[in-house]
Structure 1
Amino acid sequence: MFKEMYARGFVAKPELIASILSTCVKVGDFWLGREIHGLVVVNGLMEEESVFLSTALVDLYLRCQCHDSLMAFRVFERMGERNEVSWTAMISGCVANQNYDIALDCFRAMQSEGIKPNRVTLVAMLPFCTELGFLRSGKEIHGYAIRHGFDSDVCISSALMQMYCSCGESLHTIKLIFERSTTKDVVMWSSIISCFAKSEDAAEEAMKHFHQMQIEGFQPNNVTTLAVISACTGLRSVSHGRGIHGRIVKSGLVFDLFIGNSLLNMYAKCGCLTDSSKIFEEMSVRDNFSWSTIISAYGLHGYGKEALQLFLEMQERGEEPDSVTFLAVLSACNHVGLVEEGKNLFDKAARDNKIPLSVAHYACHIDLLGRAGEVERACEVVSTMPMKPSMNIWSSLVSACKLHERLEVAETLAHRLVKLEPENAANYALLSMVYAESSNWLGVEQVRNYMSVKGLRKSHGYSRVELQKQG
């Protein structure tokens, strides 16, 4: 209709053009937006100093991911008048493009020009604090919201809860924001449930809020469901998980990729391999997370060959494994002792150089070699790896040497561990055990005396058994 209007010789007002530019942003049609910008310049409409039109252009260039944010800055700098909407468009666009420093500068500059941020500005700034963990800046925004009466806004309250959760603030603070909110909607409920679900100690609290949400007449959406499944995973409660799974099916919620992956992960973490496999087979769309989770699940349950077969099947279907998937199949080989298969996979990945190998991949491969008694080869891998070996790698090597009675090598490595981490009591305990295996009781006594003088104590392990109520 807009094109036809111009074809018939009519010229749109700046406000109408601004709304059309907003439509271009919504549908992602950057090139049409740029053509309209050219039309605006040719017709001299920019000279009318329409703040709505200029703001719409700023928003267009920042949000269409055209890597032409410089044009947005040019339009913004040439604006004769800027209001809170203009500044907010600039700030939210910079945050969306991860230009956090510029966003913060704009936030400060708008206030120095005497323009007060509105609730939309605050909602735009809070994800920046969340992403970078800027708790102090987040608290300042919270204080500003309280002083100007924005703290009762649902969007701001939800964003504040997410910010505090990501920054590691106490759950008590998050709960206070929720309880003091006079208006609660499904977004607020989803936010509080998500915050509790991220802490294993508060997963039970997440389930309580989920039930309370429904009692108060709110129907969970996909975001709520993802948070609740995460809480079930944290609780390792398959009974709760199956209940949520049944609710998803009955309520007709969209069984999208994210929910499928969450259910797959939940069943795998709860020890239900059959259910995980069933979910995986029923998924119409899968991503690397789906494959990594099911491969890891088979490996942890002792089905290494099946995990390896899934990894090969993934590639046959044209899916390229990433570093997480590769670590999952390596771990599966390590867990069940598929030594040759694990070695071949690692050597092939190192040759092809398609998957970036991290310290975790090397640690898994070295542990596999060490358990198989190939201590010399494991030491060779350590000496040639392109990054600094982690403490876990050295500890794994020492344990392998001790297991296969290569005590001289174990003693050398244990001494190296002690030098690398002189304050870690576990390293001295490991050296003491190596001395004990070789009947070097004098060495054992010396290590214990040194630990006593330094005040080093090895922390004891403990087990926790949780009983679930029946019914």
Structure 2
Amino acid sequence: MKSTLSREVKRLVSNGFYSAALELYKLHIHPSAFLANTSILPSVIRACASAPSTHYPFGLQLHCVALKSGSTSDAVVSNSIISMYSKFSRPEPARRVFDEMPSRDPITRNALINCYLQNGCLRGSLEALREMCLHGFFPRPELVAGIVSACGRSGNIRLGKQIHARILFDPRSEGSVLLSTALFHMYLRCHDSWTGFRLFDRMPTKNEVSWTALVSGCISNNEYEMAISCLREMQDRGLSPNRVTLICLLQACPGLASLQLGKEIHGYAIRHGFDSEDHFSAALLHMYCECGEGVNRSRAVFNSYKSKDVVSWSSMIRSYARTGEADSAIELFSHMRIEGVGPNSVTLLAVISACTAMSSLILGQSVHGYLIKSGLNTQEFVENSLIDMYCKCGCLQASCQIFNEMAEPDLVSWSALIAAYGLHGHGQVALELFHEMKDRSIEPDGVTLLSALSACNHAGFAEEGQKLFKDAVKENKIPINSEHYSCFVDLLGKSGQLTDACEVIKTMPVKPTLKVWTSLVSACKAQGRLDIAEKLVHQLIKAEPKNPSNNTLLSMVRAERSDWAGVEDVRRLMRGQGPQKHSGISRIDLLVM
């Protein structure tokens, strides 16, 4: 009876029927007197590790069974326990099992290294690798490839080079396509393209995985055209891109601003049956969202999903929020809750963004309440989004409260609060916060400086704004871009310093953007220098003839000068061009008590 049940359990496990094997073991073997069966424990432990989210408690019981029966002295049983803890994302108990083993074979050491790698513990995997080499063993090339890949993901090229040097002196690693692929991909990810391409060219055998890694490495370096060229060469050599290759290529479409390329990849995937795979569908949805195709095509991809997970829901909600369809984003979030899919922090960030776009304080407070209940409100990037949302929804007090309750506000938190006070007209408080932040040894970046300059601009603090800008230029710690110059020119113009504003534009190290010129035009108009304003507007129209806002600005300047004939000329020109004016929309939330 005992041997028959054991054979049946092993048969079920070998055929992948893990749940049935566990059920049989629990009913007929686990409660019986012969709990400790060294021959059957590895199979049962393997079945238990197949569903980490539900079988972890029973996995602990099996470990106890092995300890009580003394089965842990058997290397096969201990190796299976280490692999089980790896699947359970528990590297610490796996290490304890390893340390307590009386003898460790290469399989044991490989299992521990693999456990560390699967759970993102690069340091632990390196320590285990070092111990293994000191004992005269060397891991399988596949496992070394995993460590090299981890070096690439963490950007640790120095360590990757050390492992590369060790590989060169080990003849057992020669001819491993997987290891060679991991090496050149590591160099590409660490932005050493020259070495990466040299290693790739020297590979005697290149398969689909190698070419896919080359395409992925090019994309990680933003070399999108090079990635497409590698794809063409791959096809010329008779190799067809697989699902992973297509997923990598879809990431290049937004960088190239090529919706056409994305559609071609989509068509190829349909012809080869990749479009029904969830990971490809997620990448496709992201591509359509990023390429600005609009939400209709993205929604069509989303609706084609066989099973929608939190990633797909989040991508679609984010797409609606980015394209200004905030109502649809909130509605889709409600459907997501009805379907029983729990949102994560990424989902809620998109929903907060939608609430911000709608300036809906009621919805924002509802989302904030959900965040508190779900325990996601303590993450810094979520708190920073809430500060921004409450500020733009007109509740400055709530923004301050969230900031004050943060354990350790970061640079983004300070920037958001400074911008909040500036937006609400409290320029003095914004400046005090800016200086307090610097006193706490938090160095401002370009966004923080722009928030402080904008606060001075809104409050009319011309002198303080000039000091901020000049100090930033003098210290040369923050890169000054056209946004800063535009704000500074606007500040000078509003304070009547048109000569200084013109001088700033003349001495700008970068070419003045249209926004900078528009700021100067608005300043001239506000100060009554309509002759200068009209000359500048003509320059704007010449630089951007299809922008109807420039013609509108010219019409307003001529109206200020009572040049009604000139106003009529501009309007006649605009009617001939056929510019479309979008209707404005106002929204008021009524709170019924």
TM-score (norm 1): 0.88
Q: 2:289 aligns with which of 165, 172, 179?
A: 165
**Does the C-alpha gap of structure 1 residues 469 and 157 become closer, same or farther in structure 2, counting only changes over 3 Å?**
farther
Q: In structure 2, what residue type is equivalent to 1:366?
A: V
Deviation at 1:254, TM superposition (A): 6.3
C-alpha separation between the residues in 2 aligned to 1:413 and 1:203?
Answer: 37
2:558 paired with 1:432? yes
Q: 1:50 aligns with which of 176, 201, 216?
A: 176
2:130 paired with 1:3? yes
C-alpha separation between the residues in 1 aligned to 2:199 and 2:516?
Answer: 54
Deviation at 1:313, TM superposition (A): 0.8
CA offsets per residue over residues 166-224 of structure 1, 9 Å max, x none? 11112111111111111211111111111111121x21111111121121121111211
Output aligned runs, 1:109-258, within 5 Å: 109-200=233-324, 202-253=325-376, 255-258=378-381
C-alpha separation between the residues in 2 aligned to 1:258 and 1:366?
Answer: 32
Q: In structure 2, what residue type is equivalent to 1:2?
A: L
Deviation at 1:346, TM superposition (A): 2.5
Q: Is the 8 A contact 2:559 2:567 kept in 1?
A: no
Aligned residue in 2 for 1:414: 534
2:156 paired with 1:37? no
2:448 paired with 1:448? no
Deviation at 1:135, TM superposition (A): 0.9
CA offsets per residue over residues 293-337 of structure 1, 9 Å max, x none? 211111111111001101111111112222221121111112112
Q: Comparing 288-297 with 355-364, which one deviates more in the overlay?
A: 355-364
Q: Is the 8 A contact 1:207 1:228 kept in 2?
A: yes
C-alpha separation between the residues in 1 aligned to 2:207 and 2:404?
Answer: 53
Q: In structure 2, what residue type is equivalent to 1:296?
A: A
2:504 paired with 1:378? no
C-alpha separation between the residues in 1 aligned to 2:185 and 2:511?
Answer: 45
Q: Comparing 412-421 with 318-327, which one deviates more in the overlay?
A: 412-421
Q: 1:73 aligns with which of 193, 197, 204?
A: 197
Report how many residues are paired: 457
Deviation at 1:451, TM superposition (A): 2.7
C-alpha separation between the residues in 1 aligned to 2:474 and 2:432?
Answer: 21
**Does the C-alpha gap of structure 1 residues 470 and 55 become closer, same or farther in structure 2, counting only changes over 3 Å?**
same
2:591 paired with 1:464? no
Output aligned runs, 1:258-407, within 5 Å: 258-397=381-520, 399-401=522-524, 403-405=526-528
Q: Is the 8 A contact 2:145 2:182 kept in 1?
A: yes
CA offsets per residue over residues 402-426 of structure 1, 9 Å max, x none? 5455xxx431342342244255423
C-alpha separation between the residues in 1 aligned to 2:237 and 2:348?
Answer: 44
C-alpha separation between the residues in 2 aligned to 1:19 and 1:212?
Answer: 40
Q: Is the 8 A contact 1:130 1:162 kept in 2?
A: no
C-alpha separation between the residues in 1 aligned to 2:516 and 2:246?
Answer: 46
**Does the C-alpha gap of structure 1 residues 22 and 292 become closer, same or farther in structure 2, counting only changes over 3 Å?**
closer
Deviation at 1:461, TM superposition (A): 9.2
Deviation at 1:16, TM superposition (A): 4.1
**Does the C-alpha gap of structure 1 residues 293 and 451 become closer, same or farther in structure 2, counting only changes over 3 Å?**
same
C-alpha separation between the residues in 1 aligned to 2:142 and 2:524?
Answer: 76
Q: In structure 1, what residue type is equivalent to 2:131?
A: E
C-alpha separation between the residues in 2 aligned to 1:433 and 1:14?
Answer: 77
**Does the C-alpha gap of structure 1 residues 463 and 149 become closer, same or farther in structure 2, counting only changes over 3 Å?**
closer
CA offsets per residue over residues 85-112 of structure 1, 9 Å max, x none? 2222222122122222222222222222
CA offsets per residue over residues 127-148 of structure 1, 9 Å max, x none? 1112332211111111111112
Q: Is the 8 A contact 1:296 1:329 kept in 2?
A: yes
Q: Is the 8 A contact 2:446 2:478 kept in 1?
A: yes
**Does the C-alpha gap of structure 1 residues 36 and 388 become closer, same or farther in structure 2, counting only changes over 3 Å?**
closer
Q: Is the 8 A contact 1:152 1:183 kept in 2?
A: no
Which ranges in structure 1 are unaligned for 5 or more consecutive residues?
A: 437-443
C-alpha separation between the residues in 2 aligned to 1:459 and 1:14?
Answer: 63
C-alpha separation between the residues in 2 aligned to 1:30 and 1:288?
Answer: 29
Deviation at 1:376, TM superposition (A): 3.8
Q: Which has the higher contact order (CA 8 A, sep 6+)?
A: 1
**Does the C-alpha gap of structure 1 residues 387 and 417 become closer, same or farther in structure 2, counting only changes over 3 Å?**
farther
Deviation at 1:381, TM superposition (A): 3.6
Q: Is the 8 A contact 1:394 1:413 kept in 2?
A: no
CA offsets per residue over residues 229-254 of structure 1, 9 Å max, x none? 11111111111111111111111226
SS of residue matched to 1:421: helix
C-alpha separation between the residues in 2 aligned to 1:20 and 1:396?
Answer: 54
Q: In structure 2, what residue type is equivalent to 1:412?
A: I
2:188 paired with 1:62? yes
Q: Is the 8 A contact 1:299 1:332 kept in 2?
A: yes
Deviation at 1:401, TM superposition (A): 4.7
SS of residue matched to 2:561: helix
Aligned residue in 1 for 2:85: none
Q: In structure 2, what residue type is equivalent to 1:415?
A: K
C-alpha separation between the residues in 2 aligned to 1:278 and 1:61?
Answer: 46
SS of residue matched to 2:480: coil
**Does the C-alpha gap of structure 1 residues 125 and 410 become closer, same or farther in structure 2, counting only changes over 3 Å?**
same
**Does the C-alpha gap of structure 1 residues 451 and 188 become closer, same or farther in structure 2, counting only changes over 3 Å?**
closer
Q: In structure 2, what residue type is equivalent to 1:107?
A: L
Q: In structure 2, what residue type is equivalent to 1:284?
A: A
C-alpha separation between the residues in 2 aligned to 1:174 and 1:435?
Answer: 49
C-alpha separation between the residues in 1 aligned to 2:509 and 2:150?
Answer: 50
**Does the C-alpha gap of structure 1 residues 364 and 60 become closer, same or farther in structure 2, counting only changes over 3 Å?**
closer
Deviation at 1:120, TM superposition (A): 1.5
Deviation at 1:25, TM superposition (A): 4.4
TM-score (norm 2): 0.71
Q: Is the 8 A contact 2:524 2:532 kept in 1?
A: no
- Identity of aligned pairs, percent? 46
Q: In structure 1, what residue type is equivalent to 2:166?
A: L
**Does the C-alpha gap of structure 1 residues 388 and 53 become closer, same or farther in structure 2, counting only changes over 3 Å?**
closer
2:135 paired with 1:15? no
Q: Comparing 394-403 with 180-189, which one deviates more in the overlay?
A: 394-403
C-alpha separation between the residues in 2 aligned to 1:375 and 1:395?
Answer: 13
C-alpha separation between the residues in 2 aligned to 1:461 and 1:19?
Answer: 54
C-alpha separation between the residues in 2 aligned to 1:381 and 1:155?
Answer: 51
